[in-house]
Amino acid sequence: MIAGLAITGLGGAVVIGLGEDVPDALSRTFLVGLAMVPVLALLQTRSSVARGLGLIASALLPYAVVRNATVVVVVGLALAWSLALDPWLAMLAALLGAALALTLVTVRIRTVVPRGHVHAPTADVRHAWRDTMLPLLMLAGIQELLNQTDVLMLGWLADATSVGIYAVASRIAQASAFAVAAINVIFAPTISVLYGRGDTAGLQQMVTTTAWWNLLSTLAFAVPMFVFAEPLLGVFGAGFTAGEMALRTLLIGQVAGAGLGSVMYIMTMTGQERPAVIVLGAALVGNLVLNFALIPSFGIDGAAWAKASTLIAWKLGMAIVIWQRIKIVPSVLG
């Protein structure tokens, strides 16, 4: 909550400070989006708590379904009432969806663990949390930056039209791996259990099996998306078909990444947060360099090449660290 409020305050000060240099509609969109940051921070935290309590549906449905459904409903009502569909209205709908999801998951957790039953952690537990919190916070921040760098740099080095086309292609490519998130919800806690027992053989078997599930589920969606990339993008408008090559490049990256396994979860669930920060930080720097080099010449295709290659590179880097430190192969080759 503190980190989210800090980001909101800093970002809001920058937007307000820019004043007339930022159009009113864009300024309102940014401010509403920044207000959503602490809400999302709490939502992600409490969704993780729900997962730890075994409330898988309560962890996934509010975060993945309720948020998006709220946007669809609000936009649908705006269309029905012939209201102008401005970007800030869509962002406001996303904020409402996040707040509703947070309320639902909080209420569900309280039904399982009432407030009076929560005991204060011991000094040893607090010390362990402090040691782990900073690298995890850095890891989450770098990962979020890595997820948004391509869009931000397109806006800087290209134009708003390119950003819009690429953003749609990127979201479609991400949707190809939606089953991976559900698989990892079950996979992640089991890693720490097997690792804590010292069951390397059992961990290797589970990691390999999960990598195959990730790969096959991603292929099931990525292949038709790859084949029908042009008509799929055409649903959003004729101009969006310019993102066909970018979409196919991003899909290749998603499939390759799925085959390399859930390396991030393996790193964080086995106490390897600090080397994970180093690998992901190097990937962020590499991604910035690739975007600078490729976007001016190749536009959205260059951004897609940068993102896909960076994804494969940091997953390979983490796979090497996992082999060196835990002696397991996290990919389908294990």
Asked if 317 and 279 touch (Cβ cutoff 8 Å), the reply is yes
DSSP state string for 144-197: HHHHHHHHHHHHHHS-HHHHHHHHHHHHHHHHTTHHHHHHHHHHHHHHHHHHHH
Query: At 236, is the secondary structure helix, strand, or coil?
Result: coil
Both tokens assigned to 237: 């408008």
Residues with Cβ within 8 Å of 31's Cβ and at least 6 positions away in sequence, in order, are 12, 15
Residues for the chain: how many in total?
334
For residue 23, what is the DSSP state?
A: -
Alpha carbon distance 12, 17 (integer Å): 8
153: closest CA among 329, 288, 32? 288
Question: What pTM did the predictor assign?
Answer: 0.75
Both tokens assigned to 143: 């990962």
Phi, psi (rounded to 5 degrees) for 307: -70, -45
214: closest CA among 91, 110, 298, 315? 315
Alpha carbon distance 94, 151 (integer Å): 19
- State the greatest distance between any 2 C-alpha atoms of the chain, in Å, as a whole number: 61
Q: What is the pLDDT along the chain (334 residues), one digit of tens a residue?
A: 888 899 899 998 988 888 777 777 888 888 999 999 999 999 988 988 888 787 877 888 888 888 889 988 988 888 888 777 788 888 999 999 999 999 999 999 888 887 666 667 777 777 777 777 888 888 888 988 888 888 889 888 888 888 989 999 999 998 888 788 778 777 777 888 888 888 888 889 988 999 999 999 999 999 999 999 999 999 888 889 999 999 999 999 999 999 998 899 899 888 888 899 999 999 999 999 999 999 999 999 999 999 999 999 999 999 999 999 988 998 888 7
222: closest CA among 201, 252, 202? 252
Alpha carbon distance 71, 75 (integer Å): 6
Q: Domain spans of the chain?
A: 1-119, 123-334
For residue 326, what is the DSSP state?
A: H
- The CA-atom distances, in angstroms, between 107 and each of 47, 68, 223, 249 are 12, 20, 39, 41
